[in-house]
Chain A
């Protein structure tokens, strides 16, 4: 079974303006939403308290809100979490109260108002910790990008590295934009997913770049654009197959993994989609736009020898 009966030959880079255009629109939308309404940050970053409880039967949000009326937590955010029997109460950091005790008091109030309330989860993050986690998260992102930039520049060429990082920044902004637009909670696990996506998207970009380098060495004729396009087409089946298998498992996580990792799985889903798109349209296209050419990738000694070993295997690219 194959995706393409004949070797695919799409003119991806010829249409890179369309890609740039689409990316530009999505980026503007994402950045706009981020500037306008920001992210719905979870208590990992804002600090605060979250109490998740389970009831024996379905319960109305209004009923739970009523139970908290007249307490210090009347403004708490109450919502269903996963099913009508589960309720999540979120309280922003409160300045004048003993914070670590809030969850206990809320639980007591809810139990007073209704029988059979079971504690499922409590998270309390002090404001100081929230600030630290935010700082650490941003640092992690920066270091990941820096590490990648250095590695790719070392293995390939600086314009490839810049292209790869452009693709990563593109992906990160789009995922953040998605979370901003949908108002899904952005917490630590989502940040982990975001960083995993950085790894994944990079994986894709490297595979394409690897092929571009190989083609530069082998294909004597043709413009830089032709050679790069060829590489994208040659790796297209692989790109699609891998994305598809990853989507299969991410889908399993999303639909079966439960509410706790829903955000995580969602970020991965979006990440895999934009990561696949960006490795084709953003990474290669921006290295090309920066003027990368055959001369920039002089063959290292080892590669040349490798080639002689397998001279009999002529890639389709070289066939007339």
Chain B
């Protein structure tokens, strides 16, 4: 009695060996490293590699090792100080086509990597970094689209000679048109349906007008939302790449939100500025008849618009823009060689260059202005209720005389500081966003707090674990030791499963592991108490063991299923930290069922099974 078939022993051994192997990479730690790729996400050429290495050696920052890992060139360093210095040196050495990022690279040995074993991914609360939740402001975008439609409708009505008494965009993002009789409304409607896509119409009639109300087609709206979120994600990825962060996360969450996670970033302020800003540029000619502008800014001259200038004063610009910022291919900051003042060098697309050259050819000597438009969202009190409003900042950041016909390359000068120049260059490079985004949640963990969290969490696990082990050994003697083996096995398997899933380990996740350790012994306690009861009732030893396991099983199953329900609910309805906890709790429950029931039984069977036993140490 109490003997397992061979396959069960083998199963237990196999699970432990595989678990051990996959848990192993976590023991090797991580090296602060600099990761370098080319602009096309490829490994730099051998030539560049040897160039960089000899340069680093000269500067005294020779890396511990240099290797190609998963399509990236990785230089490992012994400390974060060396890593940061080396990263700066390399960035200065290589031109901007290369991406240079700092990250922690696991120092898993080659033979383990060959098996596909990798350490757990540490969450931001453990490694430090920034988490943003961004909301895409669809309403603003819909508003703009409707205003565009309004223009088109006005033109259409003029062409078709349809007289209307009102044409406006309402607060509900609908276009409201009023006509004097129903016949005009009919004509308007059929003209609109023929020429303008993406609108749905409804009719209303009140005493003084026949109304036609156009709103955005549901399907169209959905498509527009998806497109906007998608385009924002793409743009954000580009911007994030500009920040030089390794392993960033830019992901859609729900209908109109985007999660951005930047591990290990040092300056969350800069990240925020670059992610949150939506800026566009326009090039326009200055209205020559009114330059310099001396009139009343609220009363613009004919055919011109008046904008404030960044350094004070106003300037009148021609209404027609020459070019918008989306024709910009590249922008970089630098210094004027003569005056030493900061400047932004701009390169336009082929078409952009042609437009620019055609427009400026005949106007050498005139002034061209760069109009900077930025949307800032803020909360204001409207009728005693806080309401989010979008404020548009429009200012002219530079007015410069056109000295010669401009082509696809030119520069903007007159910026206040090199910081401003580089920020502007960055924004221009990354392109404009399709719809404005707001930061609705931020969680930043500094690197030192992250390290502290790891250390303390680890400490808590170890101490809690040791206390339980000591207690179990004292209380259940031999059986207690067996339960402790199971507990250890359980811990290894949890870590292995988390590593295999490449799940993100967070602080609540560690807490989940600790809690499972505490609760995992419950299964064994239930079994052992049962065996004790059976023994007291006078059952023979082998029968007592078997009955103890048998009877405890349904209780254990019931108890664990109910806790799993709780874990499942946590996972489904929780967010970030709560989910991390739920995942480790659920994994821990599953693995503890295996180790506490099958695992301990195997060991107990090995010790006591199939022979005469005079006394059980329980």
Chain A residues proximal to chain B, CB less than 8 Å: 1-2, 7, 52, 54, 94-101, 103-104, 107, 118-129, 133, 136-137, 139-140, 143-144, 147-148, 151-152, 155, 188-189, 191-192, 195-196, 198-200, 202-203, 206-207, 210-211, 214, 234-235, 237-238, 241-242, 244-253, 256-258, 260-261, 264-265, 268, 306, 309-310, 312-316, 319
Contact = CB atoms under 8 A, between A and B. Distances in A.
Nearest to B456: A258
Contact of B446 (A96, A120, A139, A148): A120
Nearest to B267: A119
Contacts of B276: 100
A119 B445 CA distance: 8
Contact of A245 (B471, B508, B537, B540): B471
B320 interface: no
A104 B269 contact: yes
B112 interface: no
11 contacts: A54-B449, A125-B441, A133-B575, A139-B573, A202-B566, A203-B562, A237-B529, A252-B514, A309-B550, A312-B540, A313-B544
Contacts of A257: 456-457, 460, 511
A65 to B, nearest CB: 22
Give the contact-size bracket for chain B: 35 or more
B431 to A, nearest CB: 21
A242 B522 contact: yes
Given A122-B268, A136-B575, A242 B519 contact: yes
B475 interface: yes
B268 A202 contact: no
Given A143-B573, A245-B521, A310-B551, 11 more contacts: A98-B376, A121-B443, A143-B572, A196-B512, A250-B518, A260-B449, A261-B507, A265-B511, A310-B547, A312-B547, A316-B536
Interface string B204-220: 00000000000000000
Contacts of B444: 103, 119, 121-123
A125 B132 CA distance: 10
Contact of B522 (A188, A203, A214, A310): A203
Given A207-B559, A310-B550, A151 B565 contact: yes
Nearest to B513: A249
Given A97-B379, A316-B533, A199 B567 contact: yes
Contact of A136 (B471, B472, B567, B573): B573
Contacts of B445: 120-121
Contacts of A140: 569-570, 572-574, 578
A148 B442 CA distance: 34
Interface stretch (B98-106, B190-198, B462-470): B462-470
Nearest to B472: A245
A315 B533 contact: yes
Contacts of B386: 95-96, 127
Contact of B467 (A94, A133, A252, A264): A252
B336 to A, nearest CB: 30
A256 B507 contact: no
Query: In terms of DSSP, what is the predominant structure of the interface of chain A?
Result: helix
Given A188-B575, A260-B125, A312-B543, A120 B448 contact: yes
A53 B189 CA distance: 62
B525 A242 contact: yes
Contacts of B461: 252
Contacts of B69: none
Given A148-B562, A234-B533, A245-B518, A121 B463 contact: no
B427 interface: no
Nearest to A198: B566
Contacts of B477: 1
B566 A1 contact: no
B464 A248 contact: yes
Contacts of A264: 508, 511
B411 interface: no
A101 B518 contact: no
A120 B444 CA distance: 8
B120 to A, nearest CB: 18
Contacts of A137: 573
7 tightest CB-CB pairs across the interface, nearest first? Answer: A252-B464, A249-B464, A199-B566, A246-B518, A140-B573, A126-B440, A100-B439
B507 A206 contact: no
A104 B585 CA distance: 36
B515 interface: yes
Interface in B509-534: 511-512, 514-515, 517-519, 521-522, 525-526, 529, 532-534
Contacts of B565: 144, 147-148, 151, 199
Contact of A207 (B133, B378, B555): B555
A34 B561 CA distance: 32
Contacts of B573: 136-137, 139-140, 143
A249 to B, nearest CB: 3
B537 A248 contact: no
B460 A203 contact: no
B381 interface: yes
Contacts of A319: 537
B577 A241 contact: no
A95 B585 CA distance: 39
Contacts of B449: 52, 54, 120-121, 260
A246 B569 contact: no
Nearest to B439: A100
A152 B517 CA distance: 25
Contacts of B453: 258, 260
Interface hub of B125, B135, B512, B522 (most chain A Cβ within 10 A): B522
B261 to A, nearest CB: 14
Contacts of B558: 155, 206-207, 210
Contact of A95 (B377, B381, B533): B381
Given A147-B569, A313-B537, A249 B442 contact: no
Contacts of A2: 532
B534 to A, nearest CB: 5
Contacts of B438: 100, 126
Contacts of A128: 135, 440
Contacts of B272: 100-101, 104
Contact of A238 (B456, B507, B529, B567): B529
Contacts of A261: 457, 507-508, 511
Given A104-B272, A140-B570, A260-B125, A253 B460 contact: yes
B442 A118 contact: no
Contacts of A147: 565-566, 568-569
A123 B508 contact: no
B380 interface: yes
Given A257-B460, A258-B456, A249 B467 contact: yes
B17 to A, nearest CB: 27
A319 B538 CA distance: 10
B452 interface: yes
B511 A253 contact: yes
Interface centre among A211, A234, A268, A315 (most CB of B within 10 A): A315
Nearest to A257: B460
Given A129-B133, A238-B526, A256-B460, A246 B508 contact: no
Given A144-B566, A242-B519, A96 B381 contact: yes
A295 B546 CA distance: 30
B222 interface: no
A206 B515 contact: no
